[in-house]
Structure 1
Amino acid sequence: MPAEARPRLAVIEVTRFRPHAPEYHAYVDTLNSRVRALAEVTGWEATRFAAADLGEAALLQLTDGADAIALMGGEDLAPEWYGGESGYRREGRHYEEADAAQLALVHRALDRGTPLLGVCRGHQLLNVALGGTLVQHLDGDTVHLNAGAPVEELMQHHTVDLDEGSRIHALLGSTVGVRSAHHQAIGRLATGVRVVGLASDGVVEAVEHESAPVTGVQWHPEDRGAPAGQLLSLLDGLSEQVRLAA
């Protein structure tokens, strides 16, 4: 990569079209827009790609030159990818084509050593890509979702304890305030992945790959209510990993 070139960040989302859920789509679009916008003003050449709309072959082709990947939130992964069953509580629409495309992207990133940050769904997808499973529904009142609230109020605030010595600890510190809106979580941990962050109820909130520059966070650093500088710190971490890989 030429010295004057900006690093290329591929921001990967599920879809750019949700006519059946306009309010949810508008909110997700706002979150993904904030990632791209902040990346652009902090030195990245950032582009958004919608996995379901492109399909696996096109997504892999269009992101072939990406220096780093941000794998964003969205709908639940289809249960077939991790040996689960349909019919669980709060099950919604699945986008199997997006799942397949994003899983292929994760595998390629691992093969190439491409720095990757997974957010919410992206964090869960990292674990599934490597053979792990998901908890399909977090029962009862949890700190992870304001269930039943309007879309704009689904986020809950809570804290996460990060492991000393982890890459994410170096970026964010020991205990961080986070914004979450999820009803699923990592179940059986995949081979090659280690837990580096836990919520007070034991839910896995952050993971890192043991050898590749791959990190997942269950929360939403791109939410407007997230602590100031949190998303920037994570993007700076990706940038540093790109620099080290150059």
Structure 2
Amino acid sequence: MATRAEKRLSVVEVTRYRPRDVEYHAYVEVLNSRAVRAAEDAGWTVNRVAAADVGTASLLALTDASEAIMLMGGEDISPRFYGGDEDYPFESQHFETADEGQIALVHRALRRGTPLLGVCRGLQIITVALGGDIVQDLGTDTIHKNLGAPIRDIMAAHPVGLERSSRLAADLGTRELVVQSAHHQAVGRLGDGLVAVGTAPDGVVEAVEHVHAPITGVQFHPEDPGAPAGQLASLVARLGAREAALV
């Protein structure tokens, strides 16, 4: 394992190429770049990998030496991975190679006890990897996304309540968050070993933890420029704290 001075974290995104949606890709690039910078500021040596661009075997090899993993947001997971319908409202492009590779990363993190944080789609990947499923669309009466807004204004702010007994509440030092979100899907059936520790006012699951492993997922975007100051840094710090406990 690496020394504390050279601790390694992999930021795993969907793809570095979206020629069909340049504006969306530019916004995702902003979010992922902010996640990388936050990890670097926390002292991590960051390895940024795009799952769809390398395939499962290479993704596992490229992240093998990492002491922690962040799974970032992006497109919908293909319904074939959770038994969902093939046609649903606001369905996005699917990157099944990314789905497969990121699911494999969750399985390996669980086996090894590797600290892992999933953001938005990343939370959903954790859920699906552990046998759960997805609510495929939250409808048009939603607090979770500014429907029809330009991509730069797509994030919606709303509160999230955290369970008093959760590790997340303890580590963030609060039971009430204001978050930025932009999702039309959500956790349905929880995966094995996962517990819901954060919910929005409408009951949508906004954060999950594994009962034993250092695996956390948040449905919101702490890496968004409009997120409260320190929120992303606090979540990144959790990865370092969990990794230190395993040394």
Q: TM-score range by the shorter chain?
A: over 0.9
Q: Which residue of 2 aligns with 1:195?
A: 196
Deviations for 1:3-48, whole angstroms, at most 9, x for unmatched residues? 4532111000000000110000000011000011121122110121
Deviations for 1:200-241, whole angstroms, at most 9, x for unmatched residues? 000000000011000000000000000000000001111000
2:8 is aligned with what amino acid?
A: R
1:151 is aligned with what amino acid?
A: I
In the alignment, does 2:45 pair up with 1:53? Answer: no
Deviations for 1:151-209, whole angstroms, at most 9, x for unmatched residues? 11110000000011211101221000000000000001122100000000000000000
Please give the alpha-carbon distance, in whole angstroms, between the structure 2 residues aligned to 1:150 and 1:2.
43
2:207 is aligned with what amino acid?
A: A
Deviations for 1:112-142, whole angstroms, at most 9, x for unmatched residues? 0000000000001101001101000001321
Please give the alpha-carbon distance, in whole angstroms, between the structure 2 residues aligned to 1:148 and 1:81.
28
Q: Which residue of 1 aligns with 2:187?
A: 186
4-13 or 231-240: bigger deviation: 4-13
Please give the alpha-carbon distance, in whole angstroms, between the structure 1 residues aligned to 2:22 and 2:184.
20
Please give the alpha-carbon distance, in whole angstroms, between the structure 1 residues aligned to 2:53 and 2:234.
30
Please give the alpha-carbon distance, in whole angstroms, between the structure 1 residues aligned to 2:135 and 2:241.
32
Q: Which residue of 1 aligns with 2:152?
A: 152
CA RMSD of aligned residues (A): 0.9
Deviations for 1:79-103, whole angstroms, at most 9, x for unmatched residues? 0000001110000110000000000
Unaligned runs of 5+ in 2: none
How do 1:79-118 residues align onto structure 2 when only pairs under 5 Å count?
Answer: 79-118=79-118
19-28 or 137-146: bigger deviation: 137-146
**TM-score, reference length from structure 2:** 0.98
**TM-score, reference length from structure 1:** 0.98
Q: Would the alpha carbon gap of residues 3 and 53 (structure 1) be closer, same or farther in structure 2, given more than 3 Å must change?
A: closer
How do 1:203-222 residues align onto structure 2 when only pairs under 5 Å count?
Answer: 203-222=204-223
2:20 is aligned with what amino acid?
A: H
2:165 is aligned with what amino acid?
A: G
Please give the alpha-carbon distance, in whole angstroms, between the structure 2 residues aligned to 1:67 and 1:100.
21
Please give the alpha-carbon distance, in whole angstroms, between the structure 2 residues aligned to 1:2 and 1:77.
33
Please give the alpha-carbon distance, in whole angstroms, between the structure 2 residues aligned to 1:2 and 1:124.
29
Identity %: 57
Is 2:140–2:147's contact at 8 Å kept on the other side of the alignment? Answer: no
How do 1:35-74 residues align onto structure 2 when only pairs under 5 Å count?
Answer: 35-74=35-74
Please give the alpha-carbon distance, in whole angstroms, between the structure 2 residues aligned to 1:3 and 1:209.
26
**Paired residues, what number?**
246
Please give the alpha-carbon distance, in whole angstroms, between the structure 2 residues aligned to 1:125 and 1:92.
15
Please give the alpha-carbon distance, in whole angstroms, between the structure 2 residues aligned to 1:242 and 1:85.
38
Please give the alpha-carbon distance, in whole angstroms, between the structure 1 residues aligned to 2:4 and 2:117.
24
Please give the alpha-carbon distance, in whole angstroms, between the structure 2 residues aligned to 1:135 and 1:189.
11
1:121 is aligned with what amino acid?
A: R
Q: Which structure 1 residue ranges, 4+ long, deviate > 2 Å from structure 2?
A: 1-6
How do 1:100-179 residues align onto structure 2 when only pairs under 5 Å count?
Answer: 100-172=100-172, 173-179=174-180
For the residue of structure 2 that corresponds to 1:220, the secondary structure is: coil
Unaligned runs of 5+ in 1: none
Deviations for 1:56-87, whole angstroms, at most 9, x for unmatched residues? 00000010000000000000000000000111
For the residue of structure 1 that corresponds to 2:5, the secondary structure is: coil
